[in-house]
Amino acid sequence: MMRFRYDEQLSKLNASLIEMGALVERAIANAAKALEERDVKTARRIIAEDETIDEQERDIESACLKLLLHQQPVAGDLRQVSTALKMITDMERIGDHASDISELCVYLAGQTYIKKLEHISSMANATIKMVKESIDSFVKKDLDLAQSVIAYDDVVDDLYSTIKKELIGLVHENVDNGEQAFDLLQIAKYYERIGDHAVNIAEWVIFSITGMHKDKQVL
């Protein structure tokens, strides 16, 4: 009876994590769309929905702590629970960044963009891919996929420095571009951070499979 409940709790934890992943994925995909289509309505909805993600984080957190307290999991199960605890922090941060981007999107809605958003769009797509694959790797327990997510972060970092250079150029051309350039750089930075969080998630997925975190034996 006790074991049955335990297994049930673990699979429920798994399902809630995937659900939170789905929420986060939707948030950043919608944020990218809102930014591109200058859709203030969607942007506001994302900001409102961030509360759901936060709530989900709290729920999972308390579920994890309860599991640790009542069932005292060991080995693989312990890794699963601790991975969940770490992953939700990163996912919650990704949700926050999606909400931050949306806020800037609302702010920028009245202005004409000083440049085409091509690089920011590809950055958005790259990070969406990273987040999706990091959660995929968790769902499928796919070590290779997790490692490829970590490697893909370089693409996002390169895009960030490209955008930075471009924006600096634009400010040089015309100082009036400065204000929007800052906002756009901030958006790029948020995407860069989202990429980092996806890398964190992938690292924790690797830990949950192998017990190694950043090539060090932890458990």
Partner 1 sequence: MKKRIYAGMLLLAVSGVLIASLANCCVFYSQAARVTRADVRERVGVFGNGPPDAAIAAFPQINPAAGDGLRVSVIAHDGTVTYDNTVRAETLPNHSDRAEVKKALESGAGESKRFSDTLRDETYYYAVKLSDGSVLRAAKTTGSIFSMFAMAVPVVFCVVLVTVAAGNLIAGKLTNRVVEPINNTQADTVITPPYDELAPFVRAIASQRKRTVEQLDDLRRKTDTIDAVMDNMKEGVVIVDGRGIIMSANKSARGIFETDANASMDGKNILELLRDADLLKNMRNALSGQSCEMDMERFGETYRVYFSSVTGIGAIILFLNTTERMRAEKMRREFSANVSHELKTPLTGISGYAEMLVSGMAKESERTAFAGKIKDEAARMIALVDDVMMLSEMDEGRSPRNLDDVDAAAVAREAADALAAARENDVSVEVTGKDIFLKANRAMIYEMFHNLIDNAVKYNKPGGSVKVSVAKDDGRVVISVSDTGIGIPEEALGSVFERFYRVDKSRSRKTGGTGLGLAIVKHIALALGAKIALESRSGEGTTVTVRF
Member of 9, 10, 13, 23 binding partner 1 (CB under 8 A): 23
Member of 9, 25, 83, 201 binding partner 1 (CB under 8 A): 25
**Residue 14, interface with partner 1 (CB under 8 A)?**
yes
Write down the H helix ranges in the chain: 2-37, 40-71, 75-108, 118-140, 143-173, 178-210
**In terms of CB distance, is 51 or 158 closer to partner 1?**
51
Q: Is-contact 175 51, C-beta < 8 A?
A: no
Quick one: which segment of 14-22, 66-74, 149-157, 174-182 binds partner 1 (CB under 8 A)? 14-22
**In terms of CB distance, is 77 or 136 closer to partner 1?**
136
Helices 178-210 and 143-173, packing angle to 10 deg? 170
**In terms of CB distance, is 28 or 167 closer to partner 1?**
28
The SS3 assignment for 217 reads: strand
Q: Name the burial class of residue 51, with classes exposed (0-12), middle (13-18) and buried (19+) by CB atoms within 10 angstroms of its CB.
A: exposed
Q: Is-contact 46 98, C-beta < 8 A?
A: yes
Member of 6, 18, 86, 103 binding partner 1 (CB under 8 A): 18
CA distance 90 to 15: 17
**Residue 218, interface with partner 1 (CB under 8 A)?**
no
Residues in 133-192 at the binding interface with partner 1, rule: CB under 8 A: 135-136, 139-140
Binding region for partner 1 (CB under 8 A): 11, 14-15, 18-19, 21-23, 25-26, 135-136, 139-140
